Amino acid sequence: MKTLTTHALLLALGGQSLLAQASEQDNAKGFLEDGQWNLLNRSVYDRRDYEHGSLSNGARNAYKPRAQRSDLAEEWAYGLMADVASGFTTGTVGFGLDAHLYSGWQLDSGGGRAGKARLLGVDNEGHPKDEFSRGGAVAKLRFSSTELRYGEQRVKTPVFGSSDSRLLPETATGWLLTSRELPGTTLYGGHFNESTDRNATSHDQGFVVNYSNGKQGNSFDLIGARNTSIKGLNASLFSAVYDDTWRQHYLGAVYTQPLAEGQDLIFDLNLYRTQDTGKALSGRIDNTTWSFLSTYKVGSHSFGLGYQKVDGDTPYDYVTRGAIYLSNAVALSDFNAPEEASWQARYDLNMAGYGIPGLTFGALYVRGSGIDGTHMDPNGGYKWLGYGQGGKHWERDLQAKYVVQSGPAKNLGFTLRHAVHRGNSAQAELDANQIRLAIEYPLGGKF
């Protein structure tokens, strides 16, 4: 996305505010009056026993060749995430500031077991740190119902999104424009010059790219829209450019159809179209990847069946850890290899219907096959992954979660997951058994 496109977006979004009847800024109470603080305590234990497999460092940027891998990755750490968000000053244009400070401490990770679960920061020699921290701030302006944010922030879009799946969350530096002038519609525009990984200790490492080891681009731009004006339908359309690497488009839709009292049928569609652009720093890319998940909910039970397909000679790749809205992207694998087809079966149970609110269980199974990486660009950024022909693998995930509903420990949450991944040597991910326990206790309130 070039400068002309960005300026056009700014003008379009700003012009829409003239149509607004009642805006978000009209309800501004003040810088301190609307301010909030949040403090999240999180402890994570992650143990991964690696059996065998082809590579380790593709999707999660944690793989190494077989000869270098350890059979056990085990980390236990504590994270503290403090976020402060001001309100907006009153008037036609509101001003505000947000800030965050994230810290992680090693509780137990020694004897060569640390680093591969990627909870902790590591030093220049790859050794886990006893403690690591990082912080940042965002300046924000709001006119009518259009908000501009600049600085280090967490972003949530299908093409560029901050993951919070380990100890500390991922962040990105740049600006993000969000407009809610039209009923049921949110428009987005953004420009970013770096993203910071979940266990990073600095902000100068460029972008987090999940699969390619090609030279990095210097910027990432996005525009997009979400619409919920049709009852039961949540639709999204986004377009993004990763500088001199790829151009990507996304279409997503979730539709809920009530069948009877206590029964719903839910359809979830996600489609990505990615092509190389500019200098093609990661090589030739011509990839279409889509997933479709249908879920039948009846009372406390949910039954899901899904299918996912990759059409292209490279894997579906993405910048930042959270920019993958595919239904078969699960705990240990994204099931996104070249030409891969995968299906999923899952079951979820909410125990609130049995008198135990806050307790949920989930089980899923994903099987992928048809992987063929023999036609990818030999000089591109994906050749190192070593995909062969006839690759196949499967994953099984079991999870239990409980959140305290009342009392002094209200919102204290426990999540226990057991995941197993197995595959042949023509796919590019390790066979692994994972046990993960996370304990979270959020605190917060107004200034």
User: Does residue 27 lie within any of the structural domains?
Assistant: no
Torsions phi, psi for 383 (to 5 deg): -60, -30
Per-residue confidence band for 14, with pLDDT thresholds at 50, 70 and 90: very low
What pLDDT shows up at residue 419? 98
Looking at per-residue confidence, does 356 or 62 come out higher? Answer: 356
User: Does residue 28 lie within any of the structural domains?
Assistant: no
Residues 6+ apart with CB under 8 A from 211: 58, 59, 315, 317, 381, 382, 385
What pLDDT shows up at residue 181? 96
Domain count, the chain: 1
Task: State the average pLDDT over residues 18-41.
Answer: 87
CB count in 10 Å sphere of residue 257: 11
DSSP bridge pairs for 244: none
% of the chain with per-residue pLDDT over 90: 82
Token pair 């600085």: residue:
151
DSSP state of 5: H
What pLDDT shows up at residue 50? 86
Distance in angstroms (rounded) separating the CA atoms of residues 294 and 58: 29
What pLDDT shows up at residue 70? 52
User: Does residue 361 lie within any of the structural domains?
Assistant: yes
**Residues 127-185: pLDDT tens digits?**
788 899 999 999 999 999 999 999 999 999 999 999 999 999 999 999 999 999 999 99
Looking at per-residue confidence, does 111 or 73 come out higher? Answer: 73
Distance in angstroms (rounded) separating the CA atoms of residues 289 and 300: 32
Q: Is 191 exposed, middle or buried (0-12, 13-18, 19+ CB in 10 A)?
A: middle
DSSP secondary structure letters along 325-357: --TT--SS-----TT-EEEEEEEEEEGGGGT-T
Token pair 């990839």: residue:
287
Q: Which two tokens stand for residue 67?
A: 């000869």
User: Does residue 277 lie within any of the structural domains?
Assistant: yes
What pLDDT shows up at residue 122? 79
Token pair 């987090």: residue:
208
What pLDDT shows up at residue 103? 96
Kindly report which listed range (32-41, 121-130, 144-153) carries the lowest average pLDDT score: 121-130
Query: In 56-159, which ranges are E strands?
Result: 72-85, 93-108, 131-143, 146-153
**Residues 42-97: pLDDT tens digits?**
999 999 998 754 443 343 343 433 334 458 888 999 999 999 999 999 999 999 99
Using alpha carbons, select from 319, 402, 417 the residue that is nearest to residue 364.
417
- Which CA distances in Å does 330 have to 111, 365, 366, 399, 419? 29, 10, 8, 12, 10
User: Does residue 26 lie within any of the structural domains?
Assistant: no
Distance in angstroms (rounded) separating the CA atoms of residues 421 and 434: 9
What pLDDT shows up at residue 129? 86
3-state secondary structure of 167: coil
Kindly provide the b/e burial profile for residues 329-339, where b requires at least 16 CB atoms within 10 angstroms of the residue's own CB: bbbbbbbbbbb
Distance in angstroms (rounded) separating the CA atoms of residues 303 and 182: 35
Report the CATH number at residue 421: 2.40.160.10
- Across all residues in the chain, what is the average pLDDT? 90
**Residues 375-416: pLDDT tens digits?**
999 999 999 999 999 999 999 999 999 999 999 999 999 999
Sign, CA torsion 65/70/74/77:
negative
Looking at per-residue confidence, does 122 or 42 come out higher? Answer: 42
**Residues 213-269: pLDDT tens digits?**
999 999 999 999 999 999 999 999 999 999 999 999 999 999 999 999 999 999 999
274 has a pLDDT exceeding 80: yes
Residues 6+ apart with CB under 8 A from 395: 330, 331, 332, 333, 335, 365, 366, 419, 420, 421, 422
CB count in 10 Å sphere of residue 78: 17
DSSP state of 376: S
User: Does residue 341 lie within any of the structural domains?
Assistant: yes
Using alpha carbons, select from 253, 267, 28 the residue that is nearest to residue 158.
253
Range of the domain at 151: 3-21+33-446
Distance in angstroms (rounded) separating the CA atoms of residues 373 and 328: 19
